[in-house]
Amino acid sequence: MGKGKGYGKTILFGEHFVVYGLEGIPAALGVTTTCEVKPIDGENGYNLIDNRPATPGYKEEKKFEYSALISRILEYLQVPEKLEITLGGDLVPASGIGASAATAASLARAISEEYKMNWNDEQINKAAFEGETAGSGTPSGIDNTVAVYGGFLVFQKNLAGGANKMDLIKVKKPIEIVLGNSGLTALTKEVVGDVKKLKESEPARIGKVFEEYTKLVKEAQSALKRYDLKKVGELMNKNHSLLQQITVSCKELDEIVDTARSAGAYGAKLTGTGRGGLVIALTPGKELQEKVAKAIEAKGYKASRTVIG
């Protein structure tokens, strides 16, 4: 039997700004999807046993996306026979945490192990990207790269259409975080569209926000490399304020951010699309993590405890 795993992801810095070609910093979460493969009778294809702890309705909703993803990877890796594929792990699939990329990475690793292909991370990443392309259209490559390598990434979209920049930042040890859930969902396309309109209607003011972010993300990279977590937290707070200025936060996200900071988080900001979804709070150490998670829960929101890096 071949085994593999892939990491989930979160955005530490740069949602929305990355759309305009500025650098962003996504990070691997300490939750993973695992995959086991074993050959069964049959010439090709697969039987899927999906034991991932998904929210109700998720697996049914994503059925076609996942079947395209799996078929593409089997084809790309030229698997010569039928497989039983068992997915598991502690990553709870939800939008914005790179669940399909984690699956793709875990499957490619499991196949490489089963058939003694000895693929390195770069080859696994290419296979996972192939799977993502079949499953979800035109991915940037952020999710599969984080799913394969873990750690932090400096990501920059190439607006001219060439390869995107993806540099890994390795840190000395993973950092505890809390993800607070607003319980609301927003459509990425709509929110991204509103930012575009705002940018066009107020070029001077919004241009300044973009300039500030450009400086901030450089400082964030050097703070992460130094493992200066106080500074990283401070920059997350600033990043949240810039996101408020481009109108992608909302009352619930702001409440979670304020609650996390009051409970001692080094920093807190919305993560992902905004106007709903999640807040990431930087809470080094188990004790602080628990304190912040409990404070968020006391306000009636769900909170999950994990690590980044």
**Count of residues that bind ligand MEV according to CB under 6 A:** 9
By CB under 6 A, is residue 272 in contact with ligand MEV?
yes
By CB under 6 A, is residue 23 in contact with ligand MEV?
no
By CB under 6 A, is residue 98 in contact with ligand MEV?
no
| Of 10-18, 80-88, 202-210, 215-223: span binding ligand MEV (CB under 6 A) | 10-18
| Residues in the chain, overall count | 309
Least separation in angstroms between residue 300's CB and ligand MEV is 24
Looking at beta carbons only, is 191 or 263 nearer to ligand MEV?
191
Least separation in angstroms between residue 285's CB and ligand MEV is 28
By CB under 6 A, is residue 188 in contact with ligand MEV?
yes
Please answer whether residues 37 and 110 qualify as being in contact, where contact means their C-beta atoms are separated by less than 8 angstroms. Answer: yes
| Of 13-21, 50-58, 79-87, 282-290: span binding ligand MEV (CB under 6 A) | 13-21
Please answer whether residues 82 and 106 qualify as being in contact, where contact means their C-beta atoms are separated by less than 8 angstroms. Answer: no
| Integer Cα distance of 258 and 266 in angstroms | 12
What DSSP character marks residue 24?
A: B
Least separation in angstroms between residue 163's CB and ligand MEV is 17
| Integer Cα distance of 161 and 7 in angstroms | 27
Burial of 250 from C-beta contacts in 10 A (0-12 / 13-18 / 19+): middle
Question: According to CB under 6 A, which one of 112, 145, 259, 273 is a site residue for ligand MEV?
Answer: 273
By CB under 6 A, is residue 15 in contact with ligand MEV?
yes
For the chain, the straight-line distance linking the first and the last C-alpha, in angstroms and rounded, comes to 28
Name the active-site residue from 50, 143, 194, 254: 143
Looking at beta carbons only, is 190 or 211 nearer to ligand MEV?
190
By CB under 6 A, is residue 145 in contact with ligand MEV?
no
Looking at beta carbons only, is 110 or 195 nearer to ligand MEV?
195
User: For residue 146, what are the CA distances in angstroms to 100, 136, 159?
Assistant: 12, 16, 21
| Integer Cα distance of 205 and 207 in angstroms | 5
Q: Has 143 been annotated as catalytic?
A: yes
By CB under 6 A, is residue 16 in contact with ligand MEV?
yes
Within the chain, strands assigned E span 2-13, 25-39, 46-50, 83-89, 152-156, 165-169, 175-181, 267-271, 278-282, 302-308
Q: Which residues are catalytic?
A: 143
Question: Which positions lie near ligand MEV, rule CB under 6 A?
Answer: 15-16, 18-19, 96, 188, 192, 272-273
